[in-house]
Amino acid sequence: MLTQVVEVINEWCGLINIYEELPNASQKVGLLCLWLLEPVKDSYRDEGRRKKILNALLKVSTAIKENLMN
């Protein structure tokens, strides 16, 4: 199930242009990515999933910068 969620987020982030204003859902996607990253952050088996989550976080990081500071 989580693999499908990561794939949907990855596809959604592929549509984002970082030079334009982020969509309204960016904060929610960013927070979801932080939550999804927790179980795979130290896992070597889930490197592909971890890279997709980190890529999504980079794209929406400005929407969740307050959460990243804490």
pTM: 0.84
In sequence order, the 6+-apart residues with CB closer than 8 A to the CB of 20 are none
Q: Where are the domains of the chain?
A: 27-70
Give the type of residue at 35: W
pLDDT at position 66 is 79
* pLDDT confidence tier of residue 39, bands split at 50, 70 and 90: confident
More confident residue, 24 or 41: 24
Sign of CA dihedral 63, 44, 7, 3: negative
What is the radius of gyration, based on Cα positions, of the chain?
A: 12
Confidence (pLDDT) at 70: 65
Question: What is the rounded distance in angstroms from the CA atom of residue 65 to the CA atom of residue 61?
Answer: 6
Q: What is the per-residue pLDDT across 43-64, written as a single tens digit (0 to 9) for each?
A: 778 788 999 999 999 999 999 8
pLDDT digits (tens, 9 = 90+) for 6-34: 999 999 999 999 899 999 999 999 999 99
